[in-house]
A = this chain, B = another copy of it.
Amino acid sequence: MAQTFIAQEFTTFYYATFDGDRSALRNLYRPTSMLSFEGSPVMGVDAIVEKLVNLPFKQVAHRVATQDAQPSSPSVASIIVSVTGQLIVDDSEHPLNFSQVFHLVPDDTGYYVLNDIFRLNYG
């Protein structure tokens, strides 16, 4: 199914970029994009990139454990992607479980992120 392939390509690119150079995630967002990071909501490209770049860690690595994708509209090729996995921050020995939801919406240039919701999962 197309949404599964697109979702896999997206998450691979997203987390490689996040773990390499967070400022390069800018191209994935638009003025209407929303990010909720640990319950803190921001909107728009500049606010989202500022939030991501200023997160209080230097090195980070995401390990994706599961990803699921579904089409989110009968009329547009938009996709909801749900990811769970682990986050390793600054060489900590203790990975953190996370879950993240992306809503990918097509435009002239490909897909952008309209919705982005990130949460750490404490056991």
Contact = CB atoms under 8 A, between A and B. Distances in A.
A6 B113 CA distance: 23
A56 to B, nearest CB: 19
Interface in A38-72: 39, 41, 65-66, 68, 70-72
B103 A121 contact: no
Consensus secondary structure, chain A interface:
strand
Contact of A103 (B72, B74, B119, B123): B72
A11 interface: no
A117 B80 contact: yes
A122 interface: yes
Interface of A: 32, 34, 36, 39, 41, 65-66, 68, 70-74, 80, 82, 84, 97, 99, 101, 103, 114-115, 117, 119, 121-123
